[in-house]
């Protein structure tokens, strides 16, 4: 009997830079895990789950926004492998302020800034997945802060050889004051593709 453990998980990361005054851009990277298992003279090639479109792809967002303004990004997520999978999303961010402007006297933290960024669109395959994110403060709106702290958010299925679009829009909270000027965050969206059970 063969006891074969295969790594069938792929990760695609993309970055969204949101500067509240400065324009920003993030670059995406992709890591591909493939495995080959060998057992007593038999070579078994693992099926693959590969997130596309490619290692050189980038996810660009113009982050020059003010309260009530938005930035959007979209990406086509492909499963170029041979196994059906499920896609989930995790988000992280770091502070990324406009260092070229000296009027940034308040210097809000990344978390404070992320709480002012509402995730007004989060769709996968044309369907909103905002309901999969934990609205931890119960205000009926999902912030970038809450998206990060929701951990791994399920997006949906992705069959072998297929692709689905992902869209995100971040809108600066209307109540965000001038103290957020020149603050910003650089958010990384990481997609996980795991074999469907
Ligand atoms: Ca909320």
pLDDT digits (tens, 9 = 90+) for 134-184: 999 999 999 999 999 999 999 999 998 888 988 888 888 888 777 777 777
- Which residues are CB-contacts of 47 (< 8 A; sequence separation ≥ 6)? 6, 8, 81, 82, 83, 195
* Distance in Å, CA 21 to ligand 1 centroid: 24
* Distance in Å, CA 113 to ligand 1 centroid: 14
How does pLDDT run across 42-78, given as a tens digit for each residue? 334 445 556 654 433 344 444 556 778 888 877 788 8
Output phi, psi for 36, to 5 deg.
Answer: -125, 125
Is pTM beyond 0.95 here? no
* Distance in Å, CA 188 to ligand 1 centroid: 20
* Distance in Å, CA 11 to ligand 1 centroid: 27
* Distance in Å, CA 139 to ligand 1 centroid: 5
Alpha carbons 6 and 88: distance in angstroms, whole number:
19
Alpha carbons 196 and 88: distance in angstroms, whole number:
12
How does pLDDT run across 86-140, given as a tens digit for each residue? 888 888 888 877 665 555 566 788 898 889 889 999 999 999 999 999 999 999 9
* Distance in Å, CA 106 to ligand 1 centroid: 23
* Distance in Å, CA 138 to ligand 1 centroid: 5
* Distance in Å, CA 145 to ligand 1 centroid: 9
14, 26 contact by CB (below 8 A): yes
């Amino acid at each position: 009997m063969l006891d074969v453990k295969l790594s069938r998980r792929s990760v695609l990361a993309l970055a969204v830079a949101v500067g509240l005054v400065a324009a920003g851009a993030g670059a995406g990277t992709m890591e591909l895990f493939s495995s080959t298992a060998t057992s007593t003279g038999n070579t078994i090639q693992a099926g693959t789950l590969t997130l596309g479109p490619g290692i050189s792809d980038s996810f660009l967002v113009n982050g020059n926004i003010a309260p009530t303004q938005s930035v959007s990004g979209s990406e086509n997520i492909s499963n170029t492998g041979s196994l059906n999978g499920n896609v989930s999303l995790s988000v992280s961010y770091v502070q990324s302020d406009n260092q070229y402007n000296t009027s940034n006297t308040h210097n809000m933290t990344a978390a404070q800034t992320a709480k002012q960024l509402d995730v007004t669109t989060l769709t996968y395959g044309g369907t909103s997945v905002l309901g999969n994110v934990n609205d931890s403060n119960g205000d009926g709106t999902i912030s970038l802060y809450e998206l990060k702290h929701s951990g791994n958010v399920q997006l949906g299925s992705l069959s072998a050889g297929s692709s689905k679009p992902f869209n995100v829009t971040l809108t600066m909270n209307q109540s965000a004051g001038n103290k957020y000027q020149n603050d910003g965050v650089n958010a990384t969206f990481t997609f996980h593709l795991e074999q469907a059970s």
